[in-house]
Structure formats: C-alpha cells, structure tokens
Structure 1
Amino acid sequence: MIAIRLAEIMSALSHALDLTEGQPQGHCIRVCRIGMTIGARMGLSEKALEELYYTLLLKDLGCSSNAARICELYLADDLRFKRDFKLVGSSLSQVLGFVISHTGLQAGLAERFRSVLNILRNGGAIAQEMIETRCQRGAEIARMMRFSENVAQGILDLDEHFDGGGRPQGLKGQDISIFARIALAAQVIDVFFMSAGPEAATAELRYRRGAWFDPDVVDAFLSVADWHFWDDLASPDLETRILALEPGNTLRLADEDYLDDIAAAFAQVIDAKSPYTSGHSDRVALFTDLIAEEMGYDLSARRRIKRAALLHDIGKLGVSNSILDKPGRLEGEEWEAMKRHASYSEEILSRIGAFADLARIAGAHHERLDGKGYPRGITGEAICAETRIISTADVFDALTADRPYRAAMPVEKAFAILRDGAGQAHDPACIEALERAIRRADLAGAKQAA
C-alpha cells in the first residue's frame, strides 16, 4: 500500500479536462470551489460533500467523446466551439446566432451552407446524441475510477435543467442529482466570471434561476458571493486550498492496482478524443509491456512503464480535432499545435506526486536519438530507456493502425520502417525486443489455432 492524495490526482487530471473543453486553466478547480461553497451552505452531509467534491473535479470526464463529432458536424475547431458554447443560453436567437457564427468558418461557402442547413434541420437530434454520449461516457469512466454511483449520477445528469428542458433524459426538479444541480450552476458561474466578471456571473445565475438552475442552489450561492469570495476565486493559490478542502483532509491509501485503474480509465478519456486513436493507449501499453518483458525488466518496473504508456498522450486533449483528424499534412501552426501535446503531457503528469516520475518519460515520447524530435530536441543518452521503449511502441502502433491520412500497414512493413530508422529515430534494442515478442506471440497463437 502507498499513501496518495486522491484529490491531488483528480485535480491534476481535471486540468487535462479543462484543455479539451477549451476552458481557461483551473476551470474545474474554480468550479470545485464554487460548488463546495454551495454544498456547504445548503447543509449537505460530510459524505455528500465528499462525493460532490469529486463530481465537481470530474464533471467533464466524458468531454472528449464528442470532440470529433463537433468537428465533423460543425466544421469547427472543437476547443473554441466548446469554450464559446458554454456562454450560450436556451433562447432560439442565441442558439441560431451561435450556430451561424461558429459553423464552417474555414470551409467553402457551399460546404458551410450544407452544414448550417443540416444543423438547423436536425439540431435537436444532434444535441441529444452528443450530450448523451458525453454524459454516459463520463459516468462509465467515473465507475472505472472506483467512484460511487452518486458521483457517476452527478456526471450523468450534468446537462439536465431544473425546468425539464435539459438533456439527455429531460429530468426535472428533484429528479436531477443534487450534485449535478450544483455542478451545472457552478460551471456557468465560472464561465461567465472568467469571461466578463462577477456581475455578469451573478446576473446570468439570476436569469436562469428556476429554468436551468435549482432556485435553492442559486439562493445558496447568492447568500455567500461577496467580494471576498470573488477575490478568493481568482487567487493564484486556489488549487492548493482546494486540495486542503478535500473532505476529511487525510491521505488516502491506495494500492498499485488502484493507480493502474486510474491510468487505464483516463486512457479511455484520451483515446475517445479521436476515432483514429480508439484503443491506441491500451495497445501502446501492451507493446510497451512486451518490450520491457523481453528486455528483462521486473514486474514492478514494467508496471510503472505501462502507466506512462497509458498516459503518454494525455496532452492530446489540448489539441483540436481539426488538427488530430486532418487527412492531409500538417503545416505551420497546425504542426506547432500538434507538437505541444508532448509538453502538455509532461505538465499534467508532473502535477501528480504518484505519477511525477512518469512525467518526463511520457512527455519525451516524440524525442529521437538524433535530436530531431520534440519538444526539447534531446539526443542519445539524454533519452531514458523507458522513453525509448514507449516511443518504439507508440510508432509501431501508429504504423499498424488506421490514420486519417492512410490505412494501417502490415506488421512486416511497419518493422521495416522502424529498422530503417534504427539508431537515428528509435533504439535498435527496443525494435529487436518488440520483433521477438511479436514473433513469439504469433507462434503461440498459431499453436493454439492448431
């Protein structure tokens, strides 16, 4: 057993969720501060406050699952689209204005017209599909991370409105999880606070009282939202104090299996970002483990490297799907944006004490032995053995899986490409270890089939 702060892990992972929602850094942290203030004011029990705390930090667990669909339907940058959509209310004029101003801005006139027309005709069904996918996926991942059904339900109900006009189930009033009622209000408060200040946030809260928001939730917030509260919300040390706010304020004991579950669950968030990366993190983790085993790493070391492999692409949550799923070559700023995902991965993982040693390993997975990689352009011995293993596994999976710009390659062709770059891009020892492991796996499969 090892002592970890569960809150520390979840608050760090919430930064990754902020990235994929296009929100200013610390959005979920501020939402947690707002929501916990409301919950305490409403007199929730200690147990309920604990569950509310994690619901607020993880409210956006399913957010990556609709990113590709947004790009496809709206011909838009999903990060900007999601950021701006949070400022839109329920009025028809606001919704229409948003659709027209955010659809197909970089597309041709005819393509843009077709997209806008499709959305106007099928907007209800489209919204239902995307919100349902997001909410259900978020609840599933919360369960994978061993959170209670109450937390999962809070995430599932996030987009329900108090008057019954929300989605995906059209729940009304007290039928909506109290955690979701608080989280939705806290989310809108932070979005308007960050975009236009405390007065705008308060005005929006009052305007949607009884429609989107539970009046009791609104009244609880308004009773405590003085200037001290707003100053506190903008404080640079807010995250530190949010960690101290964790109900019970004690170290949680977690075994290695729990850390594995957290890494595996968040890999699901990462891979849901693009249809072309479905299962990518799991496969990279598998190939990583095969290489490490072949190279003589013990079980403890293999477990550690596998976690880094599962989380190596967490930074891609901060890259628009208009870039991730682009069928052609990335140019200029597109390529620079893609390269930033490696730095994002290192930054996010370095926030987690239990995963901090994995941060540099995962963040360097696009470095090359000849120094032509990124983000630092380091060479040779500066690239640790664990990173070399993950890098080899990552490229092998990329070559043997479908990508927006090409079909999957046969295994032998993929190995030929890896061997051509051996010593320049990737470590020859890692390539050879993977070849041996794959060959053994093929032989074992052939024997079973016989």
Structure 2
Amino acid sequence: MVFYKKFNLSRLVENLSKSLDLILNGSPSNHALRVSFICILISYQMNFKLNERINLYLAGLLHDIGAVERETQLLLEYDKRDCVDLQRHAIVGYEILKKIPLFEEIALIVKDHHNPASNNLLSRIIYFADEVEVLLRRENLFEPKTLKAKIYPLYKNRPMFSDILDAFVEVIRNDAFFIMLSNVEEIKKYFVSHVEEKIVSVDAELFNRLAKSIAESFIDKKSKFTLTHSSDVAKTALAIARQVGLSNKDCKTIETAGFLHDIGKLFVPKSILEYPGKLSGNDWLRMKSHVYYTYSFLNQMELDEDIIHIASSHHEYLDGSGYPFGLNRNDLSTGAQILTVADIYSALRQKRPYRSNSFSHQEALEVLIGMANKGKINRDFIKAIPSDVLDI
C-alpha cells in the first residue's frame, strides 16, 4: 500500500527563507521578502498564470540561497555589488535546490536570476526586482516620480526588460507601493490574500527523500558540529524501530521525523549552537527553543500529527523533566521515545563544542542506561541499538 501525505510547500520555503535571512545577515534584512513582493506585483500586471506566480514567489524568497556570509552584505549595497561574483552564487543556489525533491522549477529560476540575457522570464523579473530593491535600500526613495526617474533610464533601451519595466512603472504609480514596501507586516498581509499556497500531495517515500534533502542542505549545515547529525538520528531511529518490530509505515514515519527533528535550529543563532561551554539563563532557553520551533515549523507545513509529535518530542523524558512541553510517558508515543534515544545516542557519538571527544558505542550505551535507570528513557530501545549503526 502507498501512503500519501499532503503538506504546505509554501510554508516550508517561507520559513527556510526567514532562517537564511537571519543566518546571512545577523538580523533580518527582509531583502528576499521585498524582492518577492516586487516580483508578485509585476506578475499581476503581466497577467501571469497561477503556477507561474507561485513559482516566482518561492524562487524570490530563495534567490540568494547560494550566497555565503562574507558576500551577503555586499549584495545589499548597490555600489559594492561589482565586488561579488553574482552569477557564482546563483549557480551555487541552483546546485543546492536542484537536489531537493519538488524544488526543481524553483532551482531553474534561481540559476539565472543574475543573468540579464536569460530566456527565463521569471529569472529576469527576479533580476530586475533584486536591482530595484537594493537601489531603494541605498537611495531611501519614497516618491513614484523619483523612483521612475532612477529606474527608467537603466532599462528603457533593454528590449528583454521592456514588458517588465512597463509593468513596474504601473506598479509604482502611487504611494501604496512605498508604504507597503517599508512595512514587512503589510507585505505579509498582501501575500496572504494575493499568493496562493502551494499544497502538494506526495507519497511517503518522496516526502522522506525531501526531508533528508532539507536535513542535509539546511539543518545540519547550520553548524560544523552537526554535519551528519540529522541523518545519524534518522538512521539510528530507523534501526531501533526495525529491531523492535514496528511496521514499515511506522518505521518510515520515524525515519522522516528523524531527518526533521532539528529543523527548529535554523532559528537559533550559530553563536549559541557552537558555544564552547555550558549555557545558562537566556542562552540556555534560546538553545532549548529549537524544539519548540521544530514543532511550530512542522505545524505550519501542515504535516501529519505523528511526524510533528515524534520530531518535536526528542527532548522530552518519561518522567516529565524534559522540554519544551514537559510531556511524560503517558504522552509520548513509541516513535517519540525511540527518537529521543536515537538523538542522545547520535549526539554522544559525535564531537560537540562543549566536549572535544566522541563516545564509543559502548560508552554511549552506558550513558543511556544511566538515564534509563533514572526513569528518563526507555531501556528496551537502548538494547535495540545495533553496534554498527553509525559505522564510526
């Protein structure tokens, strides 16, 4: 039997874009959000079809995914963009996105978003919107005629931008454009009423591959200490689930939750994730918040409740002493209990910023058994961990 799942692809992309903005700029620049806003306004003037508008919106949100921290600030400074190999980060973004199931169309748009001669109209619109947003950022313009006087000479003799330019001139004919562009909350309200959500239906196998790609391309790359962590957790949890005789469907669900369990870390500062000591106070709360953000993120994607529960309960304990919800053995499913054991085991087998050594299989088991003796985790699932599960 094939099991199908529906989920909200738009929410996934929006949250990835938000987290990338925080990673690359330290504090939100809202550049991608503003670029997407300009793109969608133009697309309405040009009477785009629904699917084209949605893909343009999503590609706009992820158009700078290939940029690295060192160059990102330069991308937002109009006079310094010549110092950056713009096409290189577009290609890097394409290489990242094309490997992710369901992101292939977005990848092709991102690939050419710094190529003004591209045959892809959606790429050229992002090129135009990107240039306009950065110019507005520098010039601090608030008046339609002034902006038109700046933009029109740059594009009036470029035939491939003729329709885009005409549409944009129509977009900025009144003050509403400037009012909305300067207010992120108004942009979000506009998107809610003008950009249809992309809800997709996929089988469990395809969604599992999507989850794995998100883990490898985004979650685990957040820190050098977690380059394989999500995959290790998923692999360990799957091995335990099979060992204790769960169904194929349950095994696949647990593995998928393992890939996604740390997606909330995208919203935790790298300085917290890589702090070389014991966190306390607000810093410790911010670290613990990653589990809540996993819960929130996956809820917004409208995933099955079992995946959300398993993924967001990996720091909950049987005695109720875990976080973020203080669940206990009566609240935690078998899958959630398995993932908790798998997460602890996988973390012990890797180095961490607060400890330079990694544990052997036997050493990790001893730690886990000690926790089981205190009533925190299930001893049966510890016994089910194969000695060669991580092949370290």
TM (norm. structure 1) is: 0.68
* Conserved? CA contact 1:139–1:155, under 8 Å: no
Q: Whole-Å Cα distance in 2 between the matches of residues 188 and 297 of structure 1?
A: 54
Cα drift, residue 194 of structure 1: 11
Does structure 1 residue 410 correspond to structure 2 residue 367?
A: no
Greater CA drift, 379-388 or 275-284: 379-388
Q: Please give the alpha-carbon distance, in whole angstroms, between the structure 1 residues aligned to 2:144 and 2:340.
A: 45
| Residue 288 of structure 1: how far off its partner (Å) | 0.8
Write the mapping of 1:18-37 to structure 2, written as runs, cut at 5 A: 18-22=18-22, 31-37=35-41
- Secondary structure of 1:174's counterpart equals coil
Amino acid at match of 2:111: L
Find the residue that maps to 1:254 and give its secondary structure. strand
Deviates more, 1:425-434 or 1:222-231: 222-231
What letter is aligned with 2:125?
I
Query: 1:191 & 1:366 partners in 2: Cα distance?
Result: 42
User: In the TM superposition, what are the counterparts of 1:220-239 in structure 2 within 5 Å?
Assistant: 220-225=167-172, 226-227=174-175, 234=186, 237-239=189-191
**Equivalent in the alignment of 1:265:** 213
CA distance in 1, matches of 2:338, 2:102: 30
Equivalent residue, structure 2, for 1:398 = 347
What is the RMSD computed on CA atoms of the aligned residues?
Answer: 4.1
Query: In the aligned structure 2, how far is the partner of 1:272 from the partner of 1:18?
Result: 16
Q: Partner residue of 1:153?
A: 108
Deviation, structure 1 residue 86: 6.4
1:332-351 → structure 2 map (5 Å cutoff): 332-351=281-300
Residues 138 and 343 (structure 1), Cα distance of their counterparts in 2 relative to 1, 3 Å cut: farther
Correspondence for 1:39: 43
Equivalent position amino acid for 1:415 in 2: L
CA shift, 1:378, in A, is 2.8
Cα shift at 1:243: 5.2
Provide the rounded CA distance (Å) in 1 between the counterparts of 2:221 and 2:256.
18
Q: Which amino acid aligns with 1:183?
A: I
1:23-68: CA deviations, max 9, x gaps? 65998666544323323434556665454244234435556xx46x
Q: Does structure 1 conserve the Cα–Cα contact (< 8 Å) formed by 2:66 and 2:91? A: yes
Superposed CA deviations along residues 1-40 of structure 1, whole A, max 9, x for unmatched, are 677666x223334213302312659986665443233234
Task: Determine the C-alpha separation between the residues in 1 that align with 2:318 and 2:6.
Answer: 36
Q: What does 1:116-135 align with in structure 2 at a 5 Å threshold?
A: 132=88
Within 1, Cα distance between the matches of 2:125 and 2:211? 28
Q: Once the 2 structures are TM-superposed, how far is the Cα of residue 317 of structure 1 from its aligned partner?
A: 0.8
User: 1:284–1:394: 8 Å Cα contact kept in structure 2?
Assistant: yes
Contact 1:350 1:357 in 2 (8 A): no
SS at match of 2:43: helix
Task: Tell me the equivalent position of 1:431.
Answer: 382
- C-alpha contact 1:2 1:253 (8 A) present in aligned 2: no
- Secondary structure of the 2:219 match is helix
Question: How many angstroms apart in 1 are the aligned matches of 2:268 and 2:333?
Answer: 26
Alignment-mate amino acid for residue 227 of structure 2: S
Give the CA deviation at 1:414: 1.1
**Aligned-pair CA distance for 1:397:** 1.0
Deviations 1:153-190 (A, max 9, x none): 322344x3xxxxxxxxxx5x214854344335546777
Equivalent of 2:230 in 276, 281, 285: 281
Residue matched to 1:108: none
Counterpart CA distance in 1 for 2:147 and 2:272 is 34
Mapped to 2, the partners of 1:203 and 1:381 lie a distance apart of 64
- 1-structure distance, mates of 2:276, 2:344: 18
Report the Cα distance in structure 1 between the residues aligned to 2:328 and 2:148, rounded to whole angstroms. 53
Residues in 1 aligned to 2:208 and 2:360: alpha-carbon distance in whole angstroms? 31
Letter matched to residue 97 of structure 2? I
| AA of the residue aligned to 1:21 | D
Match of 1:174 among 109, 117, 120: 117
Q: Which amino acid aligns with 2:206?
A: Y
Change over 3 Å in CA distance of 1:315–1:207 after alignment to 2: farther
Unaligned runs of 5+ in 2: none
The structural deviation recorded for 1:336 is 2.0
Q: By how many angstroms is 1:264 displaced?
A: 1.5
* 2:60 equivalent in structure 1: 56
Name the residue aligned to 1:12: 12
Identity %: 24
Q: Deviations over 1:245-304 (max 9, x none)?
A: 66xxxx644222221222112112111111211121111111010111112210111111
Q: Which amino acid in 1 is paired with 2:18? A: D
Residues 334-389 of structure 1: CA deviation (Å, up to 9, x unaligned): 22221111111110100122345422321221122333322223333223322211
Contact map agreement 2:9 2:200 (CA 8 A) in 1: no
Q: Distance in 1 between matches of 2:145 and 2:232?
A: 47
Residue 366 of structure 1 corresponds to which residue in structure 2?
A: 315
User: Is the deviation greater in 327-336 or in 131-140?
Assistant: 131-140
Query: What CA distance in whole angstroms lies between the structure 2 residues aligned with 1:323 and 1:414?
Result: 24
Q: Tell which deviates more after alignment, 177-186 or 303-312.
A: 177-186
Number of residue-to-residue matches in the alignment: 373
Instruction: Find the counterpart in structure 2 of residue 89 from structure 1.
Output: 78
CA separation of 1:283 and 1:221: change in aligned 2, threshold 3 A: same
Alignment of structure 1 residues 140-219 onto 2, 5 Å: 140-148=96-104, 151-158=106-113, 160=114, 171=115, 173-175=116-118, 178-183=121-126, 185-186=128-129, 199=142, 210=154, 216=162, 217=164, 219=166
Deviation at 1:197, TM superposition (A): 9.1
1:11–1:29 CA contact under 8 A, matched in 2:
no
For residues 263 and 306 of structure 1, do their structure 2 counterparts lie closer, same or farther at Cα, with a shift above 3 Å needed?
Answer: same
Distance 1:26 1:299 in 2: 42
Query: SS of the counterpart of 2:358?
Result: coil
- Whole-angstrom distance in 1 between the partners of 2:381 and 2:89: 38
For 1:300, the aligned partner's letter is K
Q: Distance in 2 between matches of 1:427 and 1:36?
A: 51
Alpha-carbon deviations, 1:399-423, whole Å to 9, x = none? 1112223132211111111111114
Q: Distance in 1 between the 2:137 and 2:298 partners? A: 25
